[in-house]
Structure 1
């Protein structure tokens, strides 16, 4: 195994660790692939990243499912909504200028970070704001909104799913993380059909990265379950801050 592949595997482990807790593993894994394999095309990077991470997400989802009660009806509604709206988001994104898009996302992330930081008890306990009968419908709305964002921009989709289920419906951070993992697996498998069929997955890199991502996801999900909602909230804030830095840099590059 080459030194470059080893570095990619280390990045995949940390990506799996972070992603299993609150999402945002792409903040680690995608830049690592671009830096370590500059000859790869953008679709190859995205396809290889997606293949390397989907099993890690599945491992995390399985670990959560053993300890956290997952509302499957809400997950199915949200997953379907995300799948449908992701295509619409990608279509509109292709028509919109980055000079408008990226500053808008930067403001959105900043508001989310400030709101979560000020609400000290947000997501510490499960306090559903709606009756169980209508929760799946709100899950559908969240899935549609975040699915649209996923197609529109992409980075931080898992973190935004967690935030949506915590802030809008009232799930705890731990439950919201479990729900988001299952939805992410559904979305990842659907998109992988395209990437694999078009030959965009570099399997000699993707397979070892997948194994390391799974190991990181196992460790991260176990720690999250043991440490509870306060720990997940802190990691969520760290990831959102990372997203703010990412989009802040992009905006600075656009306007410098």
Structure 2
């Protein structure tokens, strides 16, 4: 544990990890719960160490959610697995480039994108509620998954919050995928992006293994509950949670940028 973190703080971090697992499993955005909590209980922690420890917990929860979705939904593994590999590669490059990028420049841009997402989902209530009447061709599906995996995987390595949300929106809008299925697809790709960043951050010594593994257990519990609720309650539930999380991310990033 980093200096200044007491054993009592572990309980706070475990609750945060469980909540993050639930949010991530449904619509993504769990990083906005874990990362601020890590900085709160361990103000002296290095940003890359916080990111690495978060990725360890997040990978466990994301893999659990992906497995839960896969048991109930038919997954296009021949498209999603290569997408996850692409996301892992670009996320690793993103994590390596963190120190070279002025992260403050990203925050206003991300806020604009998130506001646009919230408005789009609000004004187009049919998006993601049902599958498209005319499914996309295999070529289009491969292209969209590959591009989304590469670009959003790079973002995950650089910054991270909302990766799953951006993937779900991409699949729902560009492929006409229903929200629950889009969430399942996003979890597979997000496994790759989490793994890519984790490998780099671990190799460079930026992971608190004992804390990360403990948080991973709580993240798994939250992911199990979240993914099962998404499957049981359907697209309408996912849409509402998505809007709440997106608005929450805008507010959180706004305080980070201007507070």
Pick from 197, 204, 211 the counterpart of residue 198 of structure 1. 204
Q: Distance in 1 between matches of 2:20 and 2:82?
A: 27
Equivalent position of 1:243 in the other structure: 249
TM-score by length of 2: 0.89
Pick from 78, 87, 91 the counterpart of residue 83 of structure 2. 78
Deviation at 1:239, TM superposition (A): 1.1
> Structure 1 residues 116, 133: CA separation in 2 closer, same or farther (over 3 Å shift)?
same
Deviation at 1:246, TM superposition (A): 2.2
Equivalent position of 1:165 in the other structure: 171
CA contact (8 A) 1:74 1:139 kept: yes
CA contact (8 A) 1:22 1:235 kept: yes
Deviation at 1:133, TM superposition (A): 4.2
Matched, 1:52 2:57: yes
Equivalent position of 2:3 in the other structure: none
Pick from 2, 5, 13 the counterpart of residue 18 of structure 2. 13
Contiguous gaps of at least 5 residues in structure 2: 1-5
Q: Where does 1:1-256 land on structure 2 (aligned, <5 Å)?
A: 2-86=7-91, 97=102, 100-127=105-132, 129-253=135-259
> Structure 1 residues 99, 55: CA separation in 2 closer, same or farther (over 3 Å shift)?
closer
Deviation at 1:177, TM superposition (A): 0.7
Q: Distance in 2 between matches of 1:52 and 1:153?
A: 16
> Structure 1 residues 60, 35: CA separation in 2 closer, same or farther (over 3 Å shift)?
same
CA contact (8 A) 1:77 1:136 kept: no
TM-score by length of 1: 0.90
> Structure 1 residues 180, 219: CA separation in 2 closer, same or farther (over 3 Å shift)?
same
CA contact (8 A) 1:13 1:215 kept: yes
SS of structure 2 residue aligned to 1:134: helix
CA contact (8 A) 1:77 1:143 kept: no
